[in-house]
Amino acid sequence: MKVTALSFILLFVSVSICAQSKFRQDVKAIKSMSGCYSITFDYAETFPRIDDYDIRDPHHTGASAEWVFVEEETKDKIVIQHLLVISDSLIVKHWRQDWLYENRDLYQFQKDMSWHFNRLPKKEVKGQWTQKVYQVDDSPRYEGTATWIHEDGKHYWESIADAPLPRREFTKRNDYNVMQRRNRHILTGYGWLHEQDNLKIVRENGNDTVIVEEKGLNKYTRIDDKHCEPAVDWWEENKDYWTLVRSEWDSIFDRSQNLYLINEIDDKLLWEALFALGDEMAPRTESEPEFVSAEIEKVIQSYITDRAKNVNAAY
């Protein structure tokens, strides 16, 4: 019995050490995506799924620099913010990705500016990381949970999640209303690669019709940090405002309820309203944080409704 008990204790300690080592590997992989990068975004439709579908032209864009940095880190959460560097004087707040360890609470996109709250069983997320992707205004976009893989010298994470139309198409198309994304984050010798295998879906009356498949490759090539210095300076001047914006959204997400947003108010999208408010309020965040928070709350709450709207989910 003593031998059996000792064997059990040794096995438990061994498993615990392995889990801690794997967790540290995961954290290192996530944080290694930070840095200064030149970037290219390439998308190409591949296989039509319906008759008489005309394949659209491939899409290619890029930027000379994007600053990707860890904005917040706790024991089980890593917040990574992206900033585009267009020029020394023009910085664009880009997307944000939050990584949460063994997270159970997801806001899953449905369609038509609606996200449904879902709490997963604890056993389903053991050892996994949720990636929560947000719009430029820190409103939700899509969320997926999966395990980081570290095998044969390869380090990657992959999940499937439904999402609104991408920004490159939401003003140009209305022939589908859901993009199902297979997202794969791969660490490479030059930086990292965001690889996507997407399905463009028409979701109506509980039924999904895939109209076409799409391949996406977002390449992040590491460059000298000096190219991102304007973004570092911009964030120093504006981070307090956007911290307050994130705080307001967190209070909304903490309600653990379905979320429905209005696409436009007076021909203005939510990101336009929050960016305009930021230009006005950023200098006042340090001296008047409560006032600025109240103004942020007014704007965000005005775009929230209590039911799904029959509007285009392209946002």
Residue 292 in tokens: 């600025």
Band of the pLDDT at 1, cuts 50, 70, 90? low
3-state DSSP helix/strand/coil % of the chain, to nearest 5: 30, 45, 25
Is residue 218 classed as helix, strand or coil in its secondary structure? strand
- Picking from 226, 217, 219, the residue whose alpha carbon sits closest to that of residue 188 is 219
* Integer Cα distance of 246 and 244 in angstroms: 5
More confident residue, 117 or 89: 117
Question: What does the pLDDT read at residue 87?
Answer: 86
Residue 123 covered by a domain: yes
Residue located via tokens 């995506």: 33
Residue 302 covered by a domain: no
Is residue 268 classed as helix, strand or coil in its secondary structure? strand
14: number of Cβ within 10 Å: 10
Average the pLDDT over each of 114-128, 161-175, 219-233, 300-314 and give the range with the smallest value.
300-314
Residue 73 covered by a domain: yes
Residue 17 covered by a domain: no
CB 244 within 8 Å of CB 288: no
Question: What does the pLDDT read at residue 15?
Answer: 47
The CATH number of whichever domain residue 49 belongs to comes to: 2.40.128
pLDDT tens digit sequence for 255-280: 999 999 998 999 999 999 999 999 99
Band of the pLDDT at 20, cuts 50, 70, 90? confident
* Integer Cα distance of 231 and 151 in angstroms: 35
- Picking from 137, 139, 138, the residue whose alpha carbon sits closest to that of residue 259 is 139
Question: What does the pLDDT read at residue 12?
Answer: 46
* Integer Cα distance of 201 and 165 in angstroms: 10
**Does residue 4 register a pLDDT over 80?**
no
**Does residue 72 register a pLDDT over 50?**
yes
Largest distance between two CA atoms of the chain: 75
Residue 185 covered by a domain: yes
Residue 308 covered by a domain: no
Domain that holds residue 194: 32-225
106 pairs with which residues across the strands? 118
162 pairs with which residues across the strands? 180
Residue 168 in tokens: 């490159």
Band of the pLDDT at 89, cuts 50, 70, 90? confident
More confident residue, 59 or 88: 59
**Does residue 62 register a pLDDT over 90?**
no
pLDDT tens digit sequence for 173-195: 999 999 999 999 999 999 999 99
Enumerate helices (H) and strands (E) in the chain, giving the number of each.
4, 17
Residue 212 covered by a domain: yes
Count of structural domains, the chain? 1
Q: Assign 3-class secondary structure to 186-245.
A: EECCCEEEEEEEEEEEEEECCEEEEEEEEEEEEEEEECCHHHHHHHHHHHHHHHHHHHHH
* Integer Cα distance of 159 and 143 in angstroms: 9
Average the pLDDT over each of 87-91, 93-97, 157-161, 212-216 and give the range with the smallest value.
87-91
Residue 165 covered by a domain: yes
